[in-house]
Amino acid sequence: MTAPAPPLPGPLAGLAPLLDHYGYLALALLVLLDNCGIPVPGQTVLVLASVYAGSGHLNFAAVLLIATAAATAGNALGYLIGHSGGRAFVHRWGRYVLLTPARMERADGFFARHGGKVVLVARFVDGLRQYNGIIAGTTGMPWRRFAVFNLLGAVLWTAVWGTFGYVAGANIGTVYRTAIRYQLWFAVGLGVLVAALLLRQALRYRRRRHAGTDSGDGPEGSPDGG
């Protein structure tokens, strides 16, 4: 006989009927959509499914395997969307969101050097989790490299949040609110780090341009040169 599910905080309680009726299917669908650019509560349903597993309503191993497969497939789908249509979208609409060719070039360079780390860490940040696959495909990150970090990120993300929900159990309300608060600080810190890296790249790019301009100011390059 399974134990009753513990009292749930707002966002989890709202998803309980969906998981009650559709179980693993709801978990798979919401996690997949959450990881391919559609803002649905995939992380929340993963935590809720793990809480259910802790009270005997679902199998914990099945929750982890299904969520990992769905997260991997969702991010891979996002990559394919970015790879097939991302460049065309940027060329046509990028100027309306201040995404100039120069900025896109810097984004390509940034992902060439740090793309694996971004794909790995982005899973834990709302907003980045939904779109990092699309960005990786748009910037031309090699598929094999993306696939490795995509799978690794899915495993880590599922393990962390799945274990969190399973262990929290009856204390899920208090623990969930605390985790969300710390996740916000983590997102802020990551945003600052990314901004610093982009600023550093922009400054290096400007220095290289100035160095190239200065190298052309010699006697041969000046109007007065012989």
* pTM of model > 0.85: no
Provide the pLDDT confidence category of residue 172 given band limits of 50, 70 and 90: low
Kindly list the domain boundaries of the chain, sorted by start residue.
Answer: 10-208
pLDDT higher than threshold 80 for residue 26: yes
Most confidently predicted of 6-20, 131-145, 160-174? 131-145
pLDDT value of position 222 = 47
pLDDT higher than threshold 90 for residue 53: no
Q: 133 vs 6, which has greater pLDDT?
A: 133
pLDDT value of position 90 = 55
Average pLDDT score over residue span 133-150: 87
The whole-angstrom separation of Cα 210 and Cα 198 is: 18
Other residues' Cβ atoms within 10 Å of the Cβ of residue 53: 20
Other residues' Cβ atoms within 10 Å of the Cβ of residue 135: 21
Provide the pLDDT confidence category of residue 96 given band limits of 50, 70 and 90: very low
- Hey, what long-range contacts does 29-33 have (CB within 8 A, 24 or more apart)? 29/70, 31/66, 31/67, 31/70, 31/71, 31/74, 32/70, 32/71, 32/73, 32/74, 32/77, 33/74
Q: What percent of the chain has pLDDT over 70?
A: 60
Most confidently predicted of 61-70, 137-146, 168-177, 206-215? 61-70
Provide the pLDDT confidence category of residue 97 given band limits of 50, 70 and 90: very low
pLDDT higher than threshold 60 for residue 5: no
pLDDT value of position 175 = 59
pLDDT value of position 157 = 95
Q: What is the mean pLDDT of the chain?
A: 75
Contact 95, 126 (CB under 8 A): no
The whole-angstrom separation of Cα 158 and Cα 176 is: 15
Contact 38, 49 (CB under 8 A): no
Most confidently predicted of 24-33, 179-188, 201-210, 211-220? 24-33
Report CA-CA distances (Å) from 50 to 5, 8, 9.
11, 12, 15
First-to-last alpha carbon distance for the chain, in angstroms, is: 95
pLDDT value of position 164 = 84
